[in-house]
Chains A and B, each alone.
Chain A
Amino acid sequence: MLSSLPEKFRSHGLKADVRTLLLLRKAMQKGLIKTLGDIYNVLKGIVVKEPSEMGPFTKAYYEYFLYVPIEPGQTLEDAILRSETFAKWKTQFLDEAGKDLSDEELVTEFLDQVHLTSYDIKEVINGKEIWDKDNPDLADEDGLENDGEPAERVLDKMADYSDLSLEELLERMEKVREQQKTRHGGGSHWIGTGGISPYGHGGAAKNGIRVGGQGGGKMARKVMGDKNYFPIDRDALLNDNNVDAALASIKGVIEESAIEKLDVPLTIKSGLKRGGLFIPELSSEKNEELKVIVLIDNGGYSMAPYVRSVQNLFRKMKTRFAHDLEVYYFHNTIYNRVYVDERRTKSITIDKLLAHSKRYRVFFIGDAAMAPYELDSHSIQSIQSIVSKFKKCVWLNPEPLKYWPYTYTIQVMKELVPMFPLSPAGIERAVRKMNEKSSN
């Protein structure tokens, strides 16, 4: 059941495997999953491991469970409005609702139903029970029948539902999922109106929500509108929105360890002084090292759009590694000197750069695009000398990956320095590459 789920989620760059299914199964056994909204919540807790994954996760969920594809750059609302799933749901919903709603209201209603969780339902039930108990006289009156009924129905259905075995539940879930795809699937099996949600057609769920007012409804809308949930393309080039994701990956280069050790020589020494009474002396060994040199190509128009984001990224780094970060500038490629200031007026020679401890990690940032004659043997030599001195070097390139094969100088530079796209995902891979080397 749902065996294609890990594959689907992985295709969105998320970590999912058979363990995800096992956990999902366990969650069902424990009664955590009763609605489609519950699946969203539980899967989110299991699959999403950092804020930047929220977007891809939501995308995968909508595609897998609701057949709502979200194109890059499209908002969730747009994607829903354009989907067949929504069209089918709308027809049915409008039939039942008997009133006209704007697209926006419809989407809100749709989100309500998709993201309705059993917590919301419980809240409604609890609220109702308390309310009913508080007003015994009123509850008996005919006029309030309409209000009282749905809650009871929810209760009934919830009770019915708990008899379902896990296998049946899984089967039903899969079926509903399939039916959302096929044209004829509509009708009685819909989110909120049957199928996966335990409440029957003509939806106690919907009534429930109306009674409850808040819960799934308002929440869903608010949550889905949040930029964290809005699909962020992790392969998108660095910009102000994903600079934090990039920073998170760049922090992975920190090497830090601290251990308390028994200082044997000192113990013996002081023990002898005490006349043979040995009292252990401890010393702490602490290693914290992250020394970074950043070489930024800030010449040329092609780099201009990225300079700000890049600086923003390293400024944030700088607040954390105040003493261990050095930034130099160059134009297109490096000859025999690099510049200390942005305007490239003050410079140091390449020898001076090479005089740094070899423990420094070097990030080149540039598009590596230049006239072929600029990348002459002299420049290649300079780069090679940097790479051979500092074993941990990577090049981050803001140029979209697909254009790399068409730029001759990128091809050459790539051979000299391991090159990665300047995107959060690219930086992550670059950092991994750096750490790989460090273990050798």
Chain B
Amino acid sequence: MAETTHWTGSDKYLCDPALAQAFHMARTLGMPLLIEGEPGTGKTELPIHYAKDRGLDLEVYPVGSKSNIEQFVARFDHVKYLRDSQIEILNAQREEKGLESKLTTGNRNPEKLGDYVVKGPAAIAYSKPNSVLLIDEIDKAPREFPNDLLYALSHRKFIMPESGEVIEISEADMPAIVITSNREQELPTAFKGRCIYHYIDFPDKEVMGKIIEKHHPKLDEKVVRVALDVFYHLRRLGLERAPTTREILNWLKYMGDIAPKEAVKKIEGLEGIGALIKTQTDMERVNRMIGADDTFGGSRLN
């Protein structure tokens, strides 16, 4: 039986209630959960922490521009197969010539096709009841990839190439599937139709405070407050690439080693702001708009 209890986060991961509910719903219905939202809102973290917290096996498939369904499910390694069969011939020839040494096929037997099937994360997850499968950043995939996934996701069954082995799982045992996307490309309607959809809103100040506490529990309250002010102020500037959760966490990690009073000063002086601002244009913009504080604060500190 797959795990379908309502999971609301762990001590390391603060799960937005709406996301927790959508996740629960997806698991109960045995459907994949498609999460979209700004980068750095913890999309990928959800299945990782869920699997860790509940002690489940996690399979990850990071999607890239060359992803294809074979990598995801399983592929037949023709190269190794050809190599090994060539080696067999070669060994036979060597034997004929009375040579002792043999080349090895690494325990693979060209007679057994199953030895050459390389299982991808999907096949592995489907062969283990009650596991977690993460398909990360599906929007990076070639256009046909999501469509190819359709079949894989809606039929709980894979047939391994060449060997014909069947991997099948019951609806009750379906792995919890989480798919993340940064919306860099629109996904096909039919694909979205097979998923439970959830859009993560950017956390507000209050929630962000809690997230920070989970990651840096020892941080001084005042430091966090000041940092949050700066952070949300920067987000309001309409930058090309607004700073995200990940960035403020990194920034504060750096501040964590400094005495609170000092840290507040540093934050107000926008020190280490490079952790938050990612493009040159944005940096120029920030300098132009609140740059006075920067040089001012900076010089005072030095």
Contact = CB atoms under 8 A, between A and B. Distances in A.
Contact of B143 (A42, A257, A277): A257
A288 B65 CA distance: 9
A280 B80 CA distance: 9
A262 interface: yes
A50 B199 contact: yes
Contacts of A319: 240
Interface string B168-191: 000000000000000111100100
B184 A50 contact: no
Interface stretch (A25-33, A91-99, A101-109, A292-300): A25-33
A144 interface: no
A54 B37 CA distance: 13
Contacts of A259: 68
A30 B29 contact: yes
Given A50-B199, A260-B66, A280-B78, A30 B186 contact: no
B17 A119 contact: yes
A132 to B, nearest CB: 21
Contacts of A262: 78
B199 A54 contact: yes
Interface string B1-39: 000001000000000011011101110110000001000
Given A256-B65, A259-B68, A280 B142 contact: no
Contacts of B24: 119
A133 interface: no
Contacts of A320: 184
Contacts of A252: 185-186
A273 interface: no
Interface in B125-168: 142-144
B198 interface: yes
The A interface is mostly helix, strand or loop, or mixed, namely mixed
Contact of A19 (B28, B183, B193): B193
B28 A258 contact: no
Given A219-B17, A251-B184, A257 B144 contact: yes
A278 B86 contact: yes
Given A15-B189, A19-B193, A251-B186, A119 B201 contact: no
B75 to A, nearest CB: 10
Nearest to A255: B143
B29 A23 contact: yes
A122 interface: yes
B83 interface: yes
Nearest to A259: B68
Contacts of B215: none
A32 B28 contact: yes
Given A50-B36, A248-B186, A280-B79, A15 B25 contact: no
Contacts of A117: 21
A45 B28 CA distance: 13
Interface residues of A, number: 47
Given A119-B17, A257-B142, A15 B66 contact: no
A119 B6 contact: yes
B256 to A, nearest CB: 30
Contact of A30 (B28, B82, B86): B28
A288 B20 CA distance: 37
A41 B25 CA distance: 9
Contacts of A30: 28-29
A26 B30 CA distance: 11
Given A117-B21, A258-B66, A48 B184 contact: no
Contact of A249 (B26, B29, B82, B186): B186
Contact of B6 (A27, A122, A288): A122
B143 A15 contact: no
B160 to A, nearest CB: 19
B196 interface: yes
Contacts of B240: 319
Contacts of B83: 279
Contact of B25 (A32, A258, A284): A32
B90 interface: yes
A32 B29 CA distance: 9
Contact of B192 (A23, A49, A286): A49
Contacts of B36: 50-51
Interface string A245-286: 000110110111111101000000000000001111010101
Most chain A CB inside 10 Å of its own CB: which residue of B17, B79, B90 = B17
A159 interface: no
Contacts of A31: 28
Interface string A373-399: 000000000000000000000000000
Contacts of B197: 45, 48-50
B22 A248 contact: no
Interface string A201-233: 000000000000000000100110010100000
Contacts of A325: none
A251 B240 CA distance: 17
B83 to A, nearest CB: 6
Nearest to A251: B185
Interface in B195-212: 196-199, 201, 204
Given A51-B199, A260-B66, A286-B66, A280 B186 contact: no
A15 to B, nearest CB: 7
Interface of B: 6, 17-18, 20-22, 24-26, 28-29, 36, 65-66, 68, 78-79, 82-83, 86, 90, 142-144, 183-186, 189, 192-193, 196-199, 201, 204, 240
13 contacts: A45-B25, A45-B197, A50-B183, A50-B197, A117-B21, A119-B20, A219-B18, A223-B18, A226-B201, A248-B186, A257-B142, A277-B86, A279-B82
Interface of A: 15, 19, 23, 26-27, 30-32, 41-42, 45-46, 48-51, 54, 117, 119, 122, 219, 222-223, 226, 228, 248-249, 251-252, 254-260, 262, 277-280, 282, 284, 286, 288, 319-320
- Shortest beta-carbon contacts, A-B, top 5: A45-B196, A49-B192, A258-B66, A51-B199, A252-B186
